Amino acid sequence: QSALTQPASVSGSPGQSITISCTGTSSDVGAYNYVSWYQQHPGKAPKLMIYEVSNRPSGVSNRFSGSKSGNTASLTISGLQAEDEADYYCSSYTRSSTLVFGTGTKVTVL
Partner 1 sequence: EVQLVESGGGLVQPGGSLRLSCAASGFSFSNYWMSWVRQAPGKGLEWVANIKQDGSEKYYVDSVKGRFTISRDNAKNSLYLQMNSLRAEDTAVYYCARLVAVATLDYWGQGTLVTVSS
**Binding interface with partner 1 (CB under 8 A):** 1, 3, 32, 34, 36, 38, 40, 45-48, 51-52, 57, 87, 89, 91-93, 96-104
Which residue, 17 or 42, is less far from partner 1 as judged by CB?
42
Which residue, 14 or 99, is less far from partner 1 as judged by CB?
99
3-state helix, strand, coil in the chain (%, to 5): 5, 50, 50
- Shortest Å, Cβ 10 to partner 1: 15
Whether residue 109 contacts residue 13, with contact meaning beta carbons closer than 8 Å, is answered with yes
CA distance 40 to 65: 17
